[in-house]
Chain A
Amino acid sequence: MTEMVKLTAKDFATDQEVRWCPGCGDYAVLKAVQRTLPELGVDPAKTVFVSGIGCSSRFPYYMETYGFHTIHGRAPAIATGVKLANPDLDVWIITGDGDALSIGGNHTMHILRRNLDCQILLFNNEIYGLTKGQYSPTSRVGTRSPSTPFGSVDRPVSPSAFALGSGARFVARGIDVHKNLPAVLKAAHGHKGASFVEIYQNCIVYNDDVFAPFTAKENNGRQLWLEAGQPMLFEGGTKGIALDRQHLCLKVVDVVDGDWQTAEVIVHEPHNRGVAHMLVEMPLGGEWPVALGVLYEDPAPTFESAIVEQSRALSEGKTPDLQKLVAKGQTWQVEKEPHTL
Chain B
Amino acid sequence: MATATHLLTPEEANADIVPEAVVVRFAGDSGDGMQLTGGQFTLSTALAGNDLATFPDFPAEIRAPQGTTFGVSAFQINFGSAAIETAGDAPDVLVAMNPAALKVNVADLKPGGLIIVDEGEFGARNLAKAGYDTNPLEDDSLGKWQVVPFNISQLTLESVKPFGLGNKEALRCKNMWTLGLALWMFDRDRAPIENWLKTKFAKAPELAEANIAALNAGHAFGETVEIGQPLKQHHLDPAPAVPGLYRTVTGAEALSLGLVAGAQLAGLPMFFGGYPITPASAILHHLSRYKEYGVTTFQAEDEIAAIAASIGASFAGSLGVTSSSGPGIALKTEAMGLAIMTELPLVIVNSQRGGPSTGLPTKTEQSDLYQAVYGRNGDAPMPVIAARSPADAFDCAIEACRIAVQYMTPVMLLTDGYIANAAEPWRVPDMSGYAPFPVAFVEEAPEDGFKPYARDNKLARPWARPGTPGLLHRIGGIEKQLDTGNIEYSPDNHQAMTDIRAQKVLGIADGCPEQVVEQGEAGAKLAIVGWGSTYGPIAQAVRRARGRGQDVAHVHLRHIWPLASGLGDLLRSFGKVIVPEMNTGQLKTLLRDQFLVDCQPLNKVSGQPFKIAEIEAAIEEALA
Contacts and interface: CB of A to CB of B under 8 A. Distances in A.
A310 B9 CA distance: 52
Contacts of A106: 301-302, 305
| Of B8, B46, B296, B320, most A-chain CB atoms within 10 Å | B296
A240 B293 CA distance: 58
B472 A65 contact: yes
B466 A331 contact: no
B308 interface: yes
Interface stretch (A20-28, A42-50, A208-216, A261-269): A42-50
Interface in A327-341: 327-341
Given A60-B474, A81-B273, A327-B428, A322 B47 contact: no
A320 B431 CA distance: 13
Contacts of A50: 312
Contacts of A53: 477
17 contacts: A61-B486, A70-B476, A74-B308, A80-B300, A81-B313, A84-B271, A88-B467, A110-B301, A322-B261, A322-B431, A325-B261, A327-B247, A328-B247, A333-B244, A333-B245, A334-B246, A338-B7
A76 B298 CA distance: 14
A307 interface: yes
Interface in A237-274: none
B110 interface: no
A44 B468 CA distance: 10
A339 B477 contact: no
Given A74-B335, A322-B264, A339-B7, A82 B313 contact: yes
Interface string B416-427: 000000000001
A308 B430 CA distance: 31
Contact of B291 (A16, A65, A68, A314): A314
Interface of A: 1, 14, 16, 43-46, 48-50, 53, 60-61, 63-71, 74, 76-86, 88-89, 106-107, 109-110, 307, 310-311, 314-315, 318-320, 322-323, 325-341
Contacts of B311: 70, 78, 81
A23 to B, nearest CB: 22
A259 to B, nearest CB: 50
B192 to A, nearest CB: 6
A182 to B, nearest CB: 22
Interface stretch (B71-79, B89-97, B235-243): B235-243
A83 B246 CA distance: 40
B244 to A, nearest CB: 6
B350 interface: no
Interface string B1-28: 0000011111011000000000000000
A252 B179 CA distance: 76
B563 interface: no
Contacts of A69: 474-478
A84 B296 contact: yes
Interface of A is mostly: mixed
A80 B260 contact: no
Contacts of A332: 46-47, 49, 245-247
Nearest to B265: A322
A85 B316 contact: yes
A318 B290 CA distance: 11
B423 to A, nearest CB: 11
Contacts of A71: 308, 334-335, 337-338, 477
B305 A80 contact: yes
B529 to A, nearest CB: 23
Contacts of A326: 257, 261, 394, 428-429, 431
Contacts of B291: 310-311, 314-315
A-B complex: 5 closest residue pairs judged by Cβ atoms: A81-B312, A69-B476, A81-B309, A77-B308, A67-B474
A338 B9 CA distance: 9
Nearest to A322: B431
B327 interface: no
Interface string B286-304: 0000111110101011101
B43 interface: yes
A85 B261 CA distance: 18
A89 B466 contact: yes
| Of A71, A81, A335, most B-chain CB atoms within 10 Å | A81
Contacts of B47: 330, 332
A99 to B, nearest CB: 13
Contacts of B430: 323
Interface in B223-267: 238, 240-248, 257, 260-261, 264
Given A45-B469, A331-B245, A339-B9, A81 B320 contact: yes
A324 B76 CA distance: 30
Interface string B472-484: 1111111000000
Contacts of A83: 312, 316
Contacts of B248: 329-330
A304 to B, nearest CB: 10
B428 A331 contact: yes
A66 B296 contact: no
A72 B257 CA distance: 34
B487 A61 contact: yes
B474 A66 contact: yes
B465 interface: yes
Contacts of A79: 312
Contacts of B7: 338-341
Contacts of A16: 486-487
| Of B10, B300, B317, B468, most A-chain CB atoms within 10 Å | B300
Contacts of B394: 326
A334 B47 CA distance: 10
A121 B486 CA distance: 24
A328 B273 CA distance: 24
A330 B247 contact: yes
Contact of B476 (A60, A76, A110, A336): A60
B318 to A, nearest CB: 4
Given A85-B317, A331-B245, A338-B243, A77 B300 contact: yes
Interface in B458-510: 465-478, 486-487
Contacts of A338: 6-7, 240-243
Contacts of A44: 472
B296 A45 contact: no
Contacts of A45: 466-472
B184 interface: no
A48 B475 CA distance: 11
B466 A48 contact: yes
A104 to B, nearest CB: 9
Given A88-B467, A331-B247, 16 more contacts: A1-B469, A45-B470, A46-B466, A68-B315, A71-B338, A77-B301, A82-B466, A85-B312, A85-B318, A86-B317, A89-B316, A107-B304, A327-B428, A328-B247, A333-B244, A334-B241
